Structure 1
Amino acid sequence: MTAVYLAAYHFDGAAEELLPAYDKFVATIPPGQLLLHTCVKREGGITIFDGCPSEADFTAFSTDPGFAAAIADAGLPPARIEPLGEVHAAHGGVSP
């Protein structure tokens, strides 16, 4: 597995309102650009688990004013960003 640094982006609010904004945001991401990306509906909002190639890439992406502008343009509130660490293993096969 290629190195992946995982972070959680927590968006608080009504999930029913946040999910369409998330869909609008993710539609702006070019195909093939996401390494590891999962959106989870939870009590009190949504959380996006997203992987970057390295911690440095995560830091650059998550602090980029363009990222903040893109989520605001999609209708999402500012995210609570939680760096999680390097992924040791990931297993797939589940689809919504």
Structure 2
Amino acid sequence: MYLAAYHFEGNATELLPAYDKLLAAFPPEQILLHACVTRAGGITVFDACPTEADFTAFSTDPGFAAAIADAGLPPARVEPLGEVHAAHGSRTVPS
């Protein structure tokens, strides 16, 4: 599993409804590991793909860029993070 961070700059309160709209466009069964974090200056979305090649194809796909724009988000600064060694969790945090 390959993890990346998608950084969206702006007012987090204004970005979150657009993020929710974007996330709703993806079937839940396609999501391997995903977290949205509010921070000073915006939001960061941590998202995993099955492989680095899948990440590269997904993150550079013009359809993904269009989905981001259609949701009302600014272009993301994409930060490849690397292979996931381990991931642990006990619950889903509602948005």
Q: TM-score, normalised by structure 1?
A: 0.94
Map 1:11-90 to 2 at 5 A.
11-90=8-87
Structure 2, unmatched stretches of 5+, are none
Task: Return the alpha-carbon distance in structure 2 between the equivalents of residues 61 and 10 of structure 1.
Answer: 16
The structure with more helix, counted as a fraction of residues: 2
How big is each residue's C-alpha offset from its partner over 1:6-29, in whole Å with a ceiling of 9 and x where there is no partner?
000000000000000000000010
Task: Return the alpha-carbon distance in structure 1 between the equivalents of residues 86 and 24 of structure 2.
Answer: 27
Task: Return the alpha-carbon distance in structure 2 between the equivalents of residues 15 and 88 of structure 1.
Answer: 30
Q: TM-score, normalised by structure 2?
A: 0.95
Report how many aligned residue pairs link the two structures: 93
| 1:87 CA displacement | 0.3
| 1:94 CA displacement | 4.4
The two structures, once aligned, show a CA RMSD in angstroms of 0.8
| 1:31 CA displacement | 2.3
Task: Return the alpha-carbon distance in structure 2 between the equivalents of residues 38 and 93 of structure 1.
Answer: 13
Percent identity between the aligned chains? Answer: 77
| 1:40 CA displacement | 0.4
